[in-house]
């Protein structure tokens, strides 16, 4: 196998596959304490030392992702450095924070019908933006045609409900 390479975040060789039988049994807490490098190497499950070295290099040059919240982890490209920006909740609402250069930008979603910025969801709520002038809703990054299709389905459901209520009143 040659010389065993080691990394500052993991114990043992990185140019050989991890033999889990040699490791003590781990509970969920211990597994969560593993480094991102250890998780990437374990997921790759390869003995190719070049692949393992590329994974370690990738983990070294990219920031740790944020802790997952109810909305999950939402990302976009940073307009300054082209790194990964994560959506985080600030006191004034959601913001994009670049994990590489630290650039912070406000998250906005525009209503395709009214052309105004939609109101952001409250902290901890699902990713549902609401238009202040019409009943349209959207999720971060959603396309205009998807927003319009949802509105078309909503209006159809309201019309069907109106017919059902009218029929019920006429019968009873």
Sequence ranges of the domains in the chain: 1-61, 75-165
- CB of 84 closer than 8 Å to CB of 74: no
**Residue 30 vs residue 148, higher pLDDT:** 148
**Which pLDDT score, from 0 to 100, does residue 66 have?**
66
**Residue 4 vs residue 56, higher pLDDT:** 56
Strand pairing class (129-130; 137-138): antiparallel
Name the pTM for this structure: 0.53
Average pLDDT, rounded, for the chain: 78
Burial class (CB in 10 A: 0-12, 13-18, 19+), 128: middle
Confidence tier at 100 by pLDDT (50, 70, 90): confident
Answer yes or no: is pLDDT of 79 > 80: yes
**Residue 106 vs residue 25, higher pLDDT:** 106
Residue 41: how many other CB atoms lie within 10 Å: 24
- Rounded to an integer, the average pLDDT of 47-57 is 86
- CB of 67 closer than 8 Å to CB of 58: no
């Amino acid at each position: 196998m040659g010389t065993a390479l080691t990394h500052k975040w993991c114990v043992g060789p990185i140019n050989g596959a991890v033999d889990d039988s040699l490791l003590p049994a781990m509970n969920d807490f211990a597994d969560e304490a593993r480094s991102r490098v250890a998780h990437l190497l374990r997921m790759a499950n390869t003995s190719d030392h070049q692949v393992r070295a590329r994974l370690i290099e990738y983990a070294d040059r990219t920031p740790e992702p944020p802790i997952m919240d109810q909305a999950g982890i939402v990302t976009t490209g940073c307009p300054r450095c082209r790194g990964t920006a994560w959506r985080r909740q600030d006191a004034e609402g959601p913001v994009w924070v670049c994990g590489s250069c630290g650039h912070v930008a406000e998250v906005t979603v525009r209503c395709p019908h009214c052309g105004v910025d939609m109101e952001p969801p409250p902290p901890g709520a699902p990713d549902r933006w609401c238009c202040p002038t019409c009943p349209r809703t959207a999720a971060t990054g959603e396309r205009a045609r998807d927003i319009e299709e949802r509105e078309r389905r909503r209006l159809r459901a309201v019309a069907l409900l109106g017919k059902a209520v009218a029929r019920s009143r006429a019968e009873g």
